Amino acid sequence: SFQSSTALQRIKPSPTLAATQMARDLKAQGRDVISLGAGEPDFDTPDFVKEAAIKAIRDGKTKYTNVDGIPELKEAIIAKFKRDNDLNYEIGQINVAPGGKAVLYNAFVATLNPGDEVIIPAPYWVSYPDMALLAGGQPVIVPTTQERNFKLTPEDLERAITPKTKWFVFNSPSNPTGAAYTREEVKALTDVLMRHPHVWIMSDDMYEHIVYDDFDFTTPAQIEPGLYDRTLTINGVSKAYAMTGWRLGYAGGPQPLIKAMAKVMSQSTSNPCSITQYASVAALNGDQSFLIERNNAFKERRNLVVDMLNEAEGLSCAKPEGAFYVYPSCAGTIGKTTPDGAKIASDEDFTTELIKAEGVSAVFGAAFGLAPFFRVSYAASIEDMREACTRIQRFCASLK
């Protein structure tokens, strides 16, 4: 009979994908469901990007490429790092893979030995711990608090570092909280890392371009050039350019690491889709002004959602700087009972009863390593967000 490997037995399937699937299933049964589970913008890929892909197909750019990316794309990425982050990379320091997810995974596979520790602040993007486990490493989860807007303090980081620490995973703006670290907050963490030269930094900057109120985005290697030789700065086209389905992520880092990651790719995925790569050249080199309009729409939704959730009985919601998520606490509902007689003992109970009662789907906080909270994605129309929050308020008011 079938038995999965012991490595696979160490991990669980992605809970965010499970939540979106449940919403899809209920919809298929004819239920009126609003899904707040999406990890992707509701906008479409910009037309100029689509046109570049169509041209690539017409021009016959449909064959294998360099394993870790075509030179034109690497040049566009180098220009992006220079333009946005004041980071200088050479072509041999750039990796391109089928998604930011693949970049992270390949970096773990290329570097982790059994027992190597990976520091991951919680709440975290669901894939970090499981990817580290799959690659043979040991996640070290460091909780943050709502009071500190879910940001890791330098003291927290200092305490988590051991002689076995290989990586510190840093994600700002964060999935699932939307929290983004200011320049000073990044500096406080890089100061700690300067004292521990064996620790490498994996900076996941996927939501860099989705920030509000003139937030000044910065990344560790930019703030502390002393960390440049041990930092992998990761980004991608999925979120900023609404290209989640195209599958392309990239990173800049020290050449030996980049080479090792290409070696992993050479015996696993090979190159990311050739057509996607040409589309991404257009995305990175093109006019970026469409982002302003989209961010304005996201900001309006964020403000609405934060206000409405804070009016719901038993919830409290911080106002984050970026991404398209909020991470409200449902601590005030724990111990209550629904009109149907179901007891809310955890954030998972909260989201399960919420979708049953009101057809609103969200992902429970335990999945992201910090309870009792839940994640709301506001990558949906303002009308849907208003309706969803009205339903959440009604659900909370119904609890006794």
Is the Cβ of residue 218 or residue 338 nearer to ligand PLP in the bound state? 218
Strand partners, 373: 329
Nearest residue (CB) to ligand PLP, 39 versus 253: 39
171 binds ligand PLP (CB under 6 A): yes
Judged by CB under 6 A, the stretch of 98-106, 266-274, 327-335, 385-393 that binds ligand PLP is 98-106
Residue 276 touching ligand PLP (CB under 6 A)? no
Single residue of 81, 125, 167, 170 touching ligand PLP by CB under 6 A = 125
Q: How far is the CB of 83 from ligand PLP (least distance, A)?
A: 20
Site string for ligand PLP, 241-260 (x = CB under 6 A): ---x----x-----------
Residue span binding ligand PLP (CB under 6 A) among the ranges 69-77, 99-107, 292-300, 374-382: 99-107
| Cα 10 → chain centroid | 22
Q: 249 has which bridge partners?
A: 97, 236
Nearer to ligand PLP, 153 or 244 (CB): 244
Site for ligand PLP in 29-48 (CB under 6 A): 39
41 burial level (CB within 10 Å; 0-12, 13-18, 19+) = buried
Does position 178 interact with ligand PLP (CB under 6 A)? The reply is: no
Q: Which is nearer to ligand PLP, 212 or 325 (CB)?
A: 325
Q: Among residues 206, 211, 330, 385, which is the contact residue for ligand PLP, using CB under 6 A?
A: 206
Which of 41, 100, 121, 322 is close enough to bind ligand PLP by CB under 6 A? 100
3-state secondary structure at position 362: coil
Main-chain dihedrals φ then ψ at residue 177, nearest 5 degrees: -100, -20
Burial of 16 (0-12, 13-18, 19+ CB in 10 A): buried
Asked if 151 is part of the footprint of ligand PLP (rule: CB under 6 A), the reply reads: no
- Stretches 96-104, 156-164, 335-343, 368-376: which one binds ligand PLP (CB under 6 A)? 96-104
Residue 12, phi then psi, degrees to nearest 5: -120, 155
Give the one residue of 101, 151, 302, 336 binding ligand PLP; rule: CB under 6 A.
101
Per DSSP, the three-state class of 389 is helix
Which residue among 35, 65, 93, 175 contacts ligand PLP (CB under 6 A)?
A: 175
Instruction: Specify whether the backbone of 175 is left (phi greater than 0), alpha (psi in -120 to 50) or beta.
Output: beta
d(CA 389, CA 358) in angstroms, rounded, equals 10
Cβ-contact 95, 251 below 8 angstroms: yes
As a whole number of angstroms, the distance between CA 263 and CA 258 comes to: 9
Least distance CB 239 / ligand PLP (angstroms): 7
Whether the CB-CB separation of 286 and 370 falls below 8 Å is answered with: no
- Pick between residue 212 and residue 246 the one whose CB is nearest to ligand PLP: 246
Largest CA distance in the chain: 64
Tell me which residue of 231, 202, 244 sits closest to 99, measured CA to CA: 244
CB 79 within 8 A of CB 284: yes
Please report whether residue 121 would count as binding ligand PLP according to CB under 6 A: no
Work out how close the CB of 3 gets to ligand PLP at its nearest, in angstroms, rounded to a whole number.
29
Which residues make up the interface to ligand PLP (CB under 6 A)?
39, 99-101, 125, 171, 175, 204, 206, 236, 238, 244, 249
